[in-house]
Amino acid sequence: MDSLASYACHPEESRGRRFPEPESQMRTVFQRDRDRIIHCTAFRRLKYKTQVFVYHEGDNYRPRLTHTLEVAQIARAIARALALNEDLAEGLALAHDLGHPPFGHAGEAGLDEAMAEFGGFDHNAHTLRILTRLERRYAEFDGLNLTWETLEGVVKHNGPLAGCKARTNKAVPAGIAEYVGEHDLEIESFAGAEAQVAALSDDIAYHSHDLDDGLRAGLFTIEEVEGVPLAGPVLGEVRARYPGIELQRLVPEMIRRLIDRMVQDLIKETQARLAAVNPKTAQDIRGLDAPVVTFSGAMEKDNEGLKAFLMRRMYRHYKVNRMASKARVVVKELFDLLLDEPGCLPMEWQELAEGLDRPALAQLVLDYVAGMTDRFALEEHRRLFDLYTKAQ
Ligand code: MG
C-alpha cells in the first residue's frame, strides 16, 4: 500500500475504533472493516431486498446485493486509478445500502409514514444503527466496531449532513444526531476521498444497470434509448461498430461502455481537481468547500438527462408504481399491527420489548420490520393478516 497518495486514507493513520481492539498482523484496519461488513447478517439479507424490482418479479433483475457488488467493483477500480485506499472504498460501497428496508424506496416511504410521530425513518441513519448497534455478533460490543473513517464515510454518503456545506436544510436524522453526540463523525465536513468515490460509484452503477433492467422488464424499448443523453450516443457507437448485432449482446455492449465512459470522466475530472487543490492529507480533502471527486460539468448534465429518463420511464412506470403501492401497504400494516400488538412479535423480540415506552417500542418494531427482506416481509404479512395461513 506504499503507492497510496498522501491524501488517501492511510490505515496506519486511522483514528481507530470506538472500542479498542488488538489489530491484525495480516490485515489493515480497512481490510478488517470490509471483511466484517461482508460477514454481517444485514449484508446477507441484501440478496432478497429490492433495488427496483421485488425479488419474485424475476431472477435476472438486480437485487440490492448484486447492485452493491457492482458498486464495490466500480469503487475499487476508481480508487486504484486515483491511488486511494481500495479497501476503504470497497468497504464503504459494500455497506452503503445495508439500512434499506424491504421493497426499496417504497418500503422506506411506508416506514417513514408509519414512524412520523417518532421522528420518521431514514435508510442512511438505519445503516449506521445496524453497524453500531443492531449487529450483535461480538462478545465485547454491539455493532461491528468499525473504524472512524468507515463510519464517517457511511454517514456522509450524500455529503456533509449539517453546517453550511450541507446540500439540504433537512434536519440531521435523529439516529445520526444521537450517535454523533457520543462519537463525533464531524458531519459538517466532507468525507475522505474514498467515501466520495463510493458515493459516485453508486450513481454510475444504478444509472447503467437500471437501463439494463428496465429494458429487460420491457418498461421501455431500445429504440427509446436512442434519444437518451449518454446512452443514446453510446448505443449508436455499438451499432456502427457491429451492424446487425442482436439485442442480447447490444445491451451489455452499451452498458459496459456507459460505465467506462462515466468512470473515465470521473477519474479525469477528479485528477484535475486534485491538481488544482493540491491536498496533502485526507484531512485537507475533508476541509474543502466542495467534493474533490466529481464528474465533469458535461457528464453531470448527461447524467441528469439519463436519470430523468429513468425516473419517467422506469421508477414512475405504472407497473413499478403498482408494486410500490402494495409494498408500502405491507410494510405499514406490519409496523402498525406490531406496534399496537407487540404480543404478536416473535419471542426474542418480545423479550426486548418488555417495559419499553411507546417511542422505544416503535423503534424496536422499526428495527424488526426494516431488517426484513422482501421475502420475509411478504411471508410475515401473510402469517399476520391471512386467516388461512398458519401463524408460525
Ligand atoms: Mg445504492
Domains and CATH numbers, the chain: 20-182 (1.10.3210.10), 197-317 (no CATH), 320-385 (no CATH)
Distance 27 CA to ligand 1 centre (A): 27
Distance 207 CA to ligand 1 centre (A): 10
Q: Which three cell numbers stand for residue 144?
A: 461491528
| Residue pLDDT, tens place only, 142-178 | 999 999 999 999 999 988 988 877 777 778 998 999 9
Least confident residue range of 266-270, 296-300, 388-392: 388-392
Beta-carbon neighbour count of residue 240 at 10 Å? 8
Distance 90 CA to ligand 1 centre (A): 13
Beta-carbon neighbour count of residue 157 at 10 Å? 21
Cα(293)–Cα(197) distance, integer angstroms: 6
What is the percent of the chain with per-residue pLDDT over 70, rounded to a whole number?
A: 99
Which helix (H) or strand (E) segment is 258 a member of?
A: helix 247-277
pTM of the model: 0.95
Amino acid present at 138: Y
Residue 122, φ and ψ in degrees, nearest 5: -135, 125
Cα(252)–Cα(118) distance, integer angstroms: 45
Distance 157 CA to ligand 1 centre (A): 10
* Crossing angle of the two packed helices 104-114 and 358-370, in degrees rounded to 10: 170
Distance 237 CA to ligand 1 centre (A): 28
Cα(240)–Cα(237) distance, integer angstroms: 5
Distance 260 CA to ligand 1 centre (A): 18
Cα(151)–Cα(37) distance, integer angstroms: 12
Task: Name the more confident of 49 and 361.
Answer: 361
Termini Cα distance of the chain: 52
| Residue pLDDT, tens place only, 2-59 | 589 999 999 999 999 999 999 999 999 999 999 999 999 999 999 998 878 777 777 7
